[in-house]
Amino acid sequence: MVWLILCIGHILVAALRQAGFDWWIIFSISGHSAVIVFLLVSLYLFAILRGTRASQQIEAEHPLTSTAYYKMFYVLAPFLGSFAGLLSVTGANTTSEYLSGISLGTLVTTFLVWVIVDPITGLAEMAAPASRKHRAERLAGARMLRQEHLQEKKHLLAMLLRQERQNRRKWQQLLQPYAEQLATLLDCYQADPKRAEDKAVDMGVNAWRIGGLNCMQQLRDMVAEICKDRYEGLITVDYLSSWWDGIGTWRKPSLQEIANP
């Protein structure tokens, strides 16, 4: 790649000099050109070398381009082009003619090998019956593997949902006495707020020990339902969310969440 870039740079500089541009103009635009060349080379290395070339590592589908000899030919294409260009200008009188021949040979050979010969060779390999059969089997195996992973995910999700329902039914029985007591504490909060808060915190800790955050959330919902039925919605302030702040991963809602439930 470095040798190819140097040859392309020599061709561009020689063309600008033949067009009558002074050296100071050439040097002034060389910085921007270097950035553009760097971006183009980076794009080539990422998209071609790590993309198309990586797909040609499957020997059954690419019996020729996956061999070490072809890879060596592919990598050495710029240098082979330089040698061909040098032979084409044998007998030249000036160094400039030799350099131009080498640069043009490098550019032309690299373009032919990397842009024309290599893709055509890869397509020809993929069109072969054995390659097509192996590719179809590989793609079918990949699809089957994706289906298996999808089924495993669905099975795991169903198992988690089933476990969650079982936990909720079990917690419903365990938490019912707590929910009754908490509903009574909320009703008596104004008479003894300190005792109500302490008892509520103890019950929140017990709920966390039983089943973590989900268990605490279920207990809170059960208390809300009891208060709604028993006191006809008169108790509307959610004290539990604030009292339980800091128990496990429970956090009290922000002002925005309170304003937009």
Tell me what pLDDT residue 152 has: 93
d(CA 155, CA 161): 10
The alpha-carbon radius of gyration of the chain (Å, integer) is 37
State if pTM tops 0.95: no
- How many whole angstroms separate alpha carbon 226 and alpha carbon 230? 6
Are 137 and 60 contacting, i.e. CB atoms less than 8 angstroms apart? no
The pLDDT profile of the chain, 261 residues, written as one tens digit per residue, is 778 878 877 777 777 677 776 666 656 656 556 666 666 666 566 555 544 454 545 777 788 888 889 889 988 998 999 998 888 888 777 787 888 888 888 888 988 988 888 889 888 888 888 888 888 888 888 899 999 999 999 999 999 889 888 888 888 888 888 888 888 887 776 667 788 888 888 988 988 988 888 888 888 888 888 888 776 655 555 788 888 888 888 887 654 444 445
List, in sequence order, the alpha helices (H) in 60-128: 68-75, 77-88, 95-111, 118-127
> What's the rounded Cα separation, in Å, for the pair 149 and 153?
6
User: Which three-class secondary structure state does DSSP give residue 140?
Assistant: helix
- How many beta carbons lie within 10 A of that of residue 234, not counting itself? 9
Task: Quote the CA–CA distance of 218 and 30 in Å, as a whole number.
Answer: 69
User: What is the amino acid identity at position 247?
Assistant: I
Q: Which long-range contacts (CB under 8 A, 24 or more apart) does 241-250 make?
A: 243/197, 243/200, 243/201, 243/204, 244/200, 244/201, 244/204, 244/216, 244/220, 247/201, 247/204, 247/205, 247/208, 247/216, 248/208, 248/212, 248/213, 248/216, 249/212, 249/213, 250/204, 250/208, 250/213, 250/216
Q: What is the pLDDT of residue 139?
A: 85
